[in-house]
């Protein structure tokens, strides 16, 4: 029970990577709050799953791009459980399009959800962590932030921004015993990546050294490690979890 007594918040926790992270943290003893945007049925189902496993969890409906709601959620977690030890920023969307065809709404929706949410939730959470002089922040970025993909100028901009943000915040928070790291996944088998995977077919696996797609649990295991005290001397790092996708000259 690596996280016994710890309080965690996961954004975008009702499905995909976020859901796996919620399960991983709860399994190791943390009380876990998570946000979801629209799928209330999935969120309630996850809470019930954890309760059946004798774990404590709570779901908050929240648009990740809404800064006021971020403050409300973080404060609600602290009011309910007295503190917040772990923040995993996972909420994200894709609106792929070539730049010359990309509408401003496609650009801004991705910026607001993927990048601005990091600012809002980190600012709200680290305020409490600073008082406690303890915290673990894990931000989910992507290998696209470093290597790029055609049709993903908006997405790659946010993911590269998350990595830079994480490094800077790590400098600011280190002396207060708060670590900040990013995880950069490669191709992970989630609903969000289904269209990309279907378009590429079997060719995707040929690009990956271990010859398989990643599973949400692969990212969750990395997040669990970075959220634990075993990673107390690791901060400001970008942990690539891609099965060797980016070992060569790029994607």
Q: Which of 134, 147, 155, 171 is catalytic?
A: 155
Name the CA dihedral angle for 182, 135, 129, 61, rounded to a multiple of 10 degrees: 60
CB neighbour class for 38 (10 Å; exposed up to 12, middle 13-18, buried from 19) = exposed
155 is catalytic: yes
Long-range contacts, 153-158 (Cβ 8 Å, 24+): 153/99, 153/102, 154/95, 154/97, 154/102, 154/106, 154/107, 154/110, 154/111, 155/94, 155/95, 155/96, 155/110, 155/114, 157/110, 157/111, 157/115, 158/92, 158/110, 158/111, 158/114, 158/115
Taking the CA atoms of residue 210, residue 212, residue 216 and residue 217 in that order, the dihedral angle to the nearest 10 degrees is: -50
Judge residue 23's burial from the number of C-beta atoms within 10 Å of its C-beta, 0-12 exposed, 13-18 middle, 19 or more buried. buried
- The catalytic site residues sit at 155
């Amino acid at each position: 029970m690596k996280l016994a007594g710890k309080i965690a918040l996961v954004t975008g926790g009702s499905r995909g990577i976020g859901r796996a992270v919620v399960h991983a943290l709860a399994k190791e003893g943390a009380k876990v709050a998570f946000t979801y945007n629209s799928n209330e049925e999935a969120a309630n189902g996850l809470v019930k799953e954890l309760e059946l496993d004798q774990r404590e969890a709570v779901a908050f409906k929240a648009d990740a791009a809404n800064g006021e709601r971020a403050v409300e959620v973080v404060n609600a977690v602290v009011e309910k459980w007295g503190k917040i030890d772990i923040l995993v920023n996972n909420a994200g969307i894709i609106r792929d399009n070539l730049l010359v065809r990309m509408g401003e709404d496609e650009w801004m929706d991705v910026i607001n959800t993927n990048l601005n949410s990091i600012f809002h939730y980190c600012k709200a959470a680290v305020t409490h962590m600073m008082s406690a002089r303890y915290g673990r922040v894990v931000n989910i970025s992507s290998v696209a932030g470093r290597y790029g993909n055609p049709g993903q100028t908006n997405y790659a901009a946010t993911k590269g921004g998350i990595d830079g943000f994480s490094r800077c915040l790590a400098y600011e928070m280190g002396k207060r015993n708060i670590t900040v790291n990013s995880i950069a996944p490669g191709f992970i088998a989630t609903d969000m990546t289904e269209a990309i995977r279907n378009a590429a077919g079997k060719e995707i696996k040929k690009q990956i050294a271990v010859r398989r797609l990643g599973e949400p649990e692969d990212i969750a295991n990395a997040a669990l490690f970075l959220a634990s005290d075993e990673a107390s001397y690791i901060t400001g790092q970008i942990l690539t979890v891609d099965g060797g996708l980016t070992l060569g000259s790029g994607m």
